[in-house]
Amino acid sequence: MLIVVVSLQAQESFKPMSDIPGFKVRLETMSKSTLSIACDFVQEKNLVVLSEKIISKGVFFFRKENKIRWEYTQPYRYLIIISNGRLYTRDDKNQKVYDIESNKMFQEMNRFISGCIQGDILKNERDYATEYFESSTRYLVKLVPREEKMRQMLNEVNIWFDKNDLTVSGLKMVESGEDYTKIIFLNKKLNTEIPLEKFTF
């Protein structure tokens, strides 16, 4: 039996980041030199009021420019591919293709996902108020959407970066009612050859 044993609650103490410009420069360099990312992920949906968690896991692929494959494998199968301005989703029963440009919500979603993975979201100071922290092993950036409508859905976003290679190690999206979704990225492989077929549908 496959049992995923992970600890998503690692205790870590964070203090305000000492060198924010330095961090931004390193992140920019890393983002430019990253042509692809392949990793596993574990997603924890936390229903705070009900003291319940829903855990799901899968695999993630990114290839420049803007090609994303986000695939849930347990306990359900669900696939999202973003490629060539289109968003494709598939579950056991349905598959759908959307033109990203035709839908503002998909544009936001696309910008948000690729922005988080590449760190570009930190440049978007118009839409998010940003705070920077660090621990001995990781950087943490907290983003609060400025727009009221966005805040109804997403109160705060936390992004953790590994200090070693500046890759994203975790993502937490806090909803308005305290519920949150935390995604941990594991077994990251940078700049490996990811076949284009992974992004075709």
Which residues contact other proteins (rule: CB under 8 A)? 1-9, 43-45, 47, 50, 52-57, 72, 74-76, 78, 80, 89, 91-94, 96, 152-153, 173, 175-177, 179, 181
Name which of 79 and 190 has its Cβ closer to other proteins.
79
Count other Cβ atoms within 10 Å, centred on residue 69.
23
**Least CB distance to other proteins at residue 5 (A):** 5
Name which of 52 and 125 has its Cβ closer to other proteins.
52
**Least CB distance to other proteins at residue 93 (A):** 5
Query: 189 phi and psi, to 5 degrees?
Result: -125, 120
Helix (H, G, I), strand (E, B) or coil at 108: helix
Distance CA 180, CA 28 (A): 28
**Least CB distance to other proteins at residue 19 (A):** 33
Query: 68 phi and psi, to 5 degrees?
Result: -130, 135
Count other Cβ atoms within 10 Å, centred on residue 173.
20
**Least CB distance to other proteins at residue 46 (A):** 9
